[in-house]
Amino acid sequence: MEAVKAGIFKRGMKLVPFILKTIPRFEKGDILAVTSKVVALSQGRVVPLKRKEAVIRKESARSLEGKWCYLTLKNGEWCANAGVDESNGAGKVVLLPEEPRLVARKLLKELKTAYHISRCGVIVTDTRTVPLRKGSLGVALAWAGFEGLESYVGRRDIFGRKLRMERANIADALAGAAVLTMGEGNERKPLAVLRETGVRFNNRAYAHRSLAIRPEDDIYRPLYKT
């Protein structure tokens, strides 16, 4: 796995030329992680800082005011401030990208063509916090080219017990590894290449909501039920 240092990506820049210039080597079986911020900047998803609170409410299906931020329901998951972020925004705030699944699907197609390969993957990454844990972790807003969820239901553990609920979140695990190498400050590493991941490749594109659990089925529901 390798994160690649790049020039500063500015609002309105074209994403694919930026990737091709920054990633000279991309091979069959590789997965490219792209931070959501550069995707959002390429879409012009930037607003003045003074509009931050109004935009958070507009971008949220539901919002709860907390001590440090708004806890918001966005794209079927709880996150801080609907993903609206001031970091590396040059005095403005950057929203989450629109239609990240379509972005991932388009990037998958263009990478295959540009690098002349038949099998690869794409992840659009973002960061989230976990209840009662310090720090943030990488998650996949969208991905394409590989299966993002591995079910162990019906398999047996090492003692022969049949598994009933266990599933592995491949997409978020890979996004977390990518974000670890990309950093979240001034590293200027918005792209990362993951190799030898062992995923099952396909030609489909997915959004993070495909991993979402209904709020009424969430194990944390008693904490936010009102």
| Same domain as 156, residue 126 | yes
Q: Is residue 40 part of a domain?
A: yes
Q: Is residue 216 part of a domain?
A: no
Q: Is residue 215 part of a domain?
A: no
Residues with Cβ within 8 Å of residue 144, at least 6 apart in sequence: 101, 104, 105, 107, 108, 121, 122, 204, 205, 206
The reported pLDDT for the residue numbered 204 is 96
The residue out of 95, 123, 158 marking a domain boundary is 95
Q: How far is CA 57 from CA 30, 52, 82, 129, in A?
A: 38, 9, 8, 19
The reported pLDDT for the residue numbered 120 is 98
| Same domain as 57, residue 140 | no
Q: Is residue 57 part of a domain?
A: yes
User: What's the domain range around 71?
Assistant: 46-95
CATH of the domain at 183: 3.30.1330.100
- The b/e string for 27-37 (b: 16+ C-beta within 10 A; e otherwise) is eebbbbbbbbb
Q: Can you state the angle between helices 15-22 and 100-115, rounded to 10 degrees?
A: 50
Q: Is residue 160 part of a domain?
A: yes
**Which pLDDT tens digit goes with each residue over 2-45?**
888 898 999 999 999 999 999 989 999 999 999 999 999 999 99
**Which pLDDT tens digit goes with each residue over 116-134?**
999 999 999 999 988 888 9
Euclidean distance between CA atoms 66 and 131, whole angstroms: 13
Question: Taking a C-beta distance cutoff of 8 angstroms, is the pair 112, 20 a contact?
Answer: no
Q: Is residue 141 part of a domain?
A: yes
Confidence category of residue 138, pLDDT binned at 50, 70, 90: very high
**170 half-sphere exposure, CB direction, 13 A CA radius:** 20
The closest of 16, 34, 40, 178 to 97, measured between CA atoms, is: 40
Q: Is residue 224 part of a domain?
A: no
* Strand arrangement, sheet containing 70-74: 62-65, 70-74, 77-80
| Same domain as 151, residue 64 | no
Question: Which residue has tokens 């500015």?
Answer: 10
| Same domain as 51, residue 11 | no
Q: What is the mean pLDDT of residues 57-78?
A: 87
| Same domain as 157, residue 82 | no
Euclidean distance between CA atoms 153 and 116, whole angstroms: 37
| Same domain as 199, residue 133 | yes
| Same domain as 184, residue 113 | yes
How many structural domains is the chain composed of?
A: 2
- 130 versus 224: the higher-pLDDT residue is 130
Residues with Cβ within 8 Å of residue 216, at least 6 apart in sequence: none
| Same domain as 84, residue 37 | no
Model pTM score: 0.91
> Which H/E stretch holds residue 37?
helix 36-42
| Same domain as 105, residue 73 | no
Per the DSSP assignment, residues forming a β-bridge with 140 are 125
The reported pLDDT for the residue numbered 107 is 97
| Same domain as 171, residue 90 | no
Q: Is residue 74 part of a domain?
A: yes
Does residue 223 register a pLDDT over 60? yes
